[in-house]
């Protein structure tokens, strides 16, 4: 004769173990995804800059002065681009805006300054203005 109570307990333990293993697997997937996402957010532009011949170890570009890559500013900045540059693109919060060489940028936001020199080499400077 089969004990129904023992059978239910065994079935519950198996289902509980399956549920626990699935929850652990889900937690690992979520943790891995968040780790990858955080590393991309923190290091995405740093990896690009490490490959750039225009940026030194302090994040300072030789194609532009007045702003540092990765810089966070609480006052206006005044980027000045070298004369051998043929194309300059400035975006604020993902939207392209007009860039004037040496003009102060004072509106808060996330900026990306992309500079192309006469040889077609590109440098990208990421900076934020926060008040």
CATH code, 109: 2.60.40
Question: Do 83 and 44 share a structural domain?
Answer: no
Residue at a domain's end among 27, 51, 75: 51
For the entire predicted model, the pTM comes to 0.55
Q: What is the pLDDT at residue 5? A: 59
The per-residue pLDDT string of the chain (131 residues; one tens digit each, 9 = 90 and over) reads: 555 655 555 554 556 666 677 777 777 777 777 766 665 555 444 444 444 455 566 556 678 889 988 899 999 999 998 877 889 999 999 999 999 988 999 999 999 999 888 888 888 889 999 97
Question: Domain tally for the chain?
Answer: 2
Question: Do 44 and 23 share a structural domain?
Answer: yes
Whether 124 maps to a domain, the answer reads yes
Nearest to 36 by CA among 46, 44, 45, 26: 44
Q: What is the pLDDT at residue 43? A: 47
Question: Do 74 and 35 share a structural domain?
Answer: no
Q: Which domain holds residue 77?
A: 64-129
């Amino acid at each position: 004769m089969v004990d129904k109570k023992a059978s239910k307990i065994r079935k519950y333990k198996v289902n509980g173990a399956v549920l626990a293993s699935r929850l652990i697997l889900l937690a690992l997937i979520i943790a891995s995804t968040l780790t990858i996402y955080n590393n991309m957010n923190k290091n995405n532009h740093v990896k690009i800059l490490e490959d750039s011949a225009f940026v030194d170890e302090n994040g300072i570009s030789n194609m532009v002065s007045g702003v540092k890559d990765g810089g966070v500013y609480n006052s206006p900045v005044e980027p000045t681009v070298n004369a051998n540059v043929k194309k300059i693109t400035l975006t604020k919060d993902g939207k392209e805006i007009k860039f004037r060489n040496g003009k102060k940028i004072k509106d808060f936001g996330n900026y990306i300054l992309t500079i192309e020199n006469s040889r077609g080499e590109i440098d990208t400077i990421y900076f934020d203005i926060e008040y």
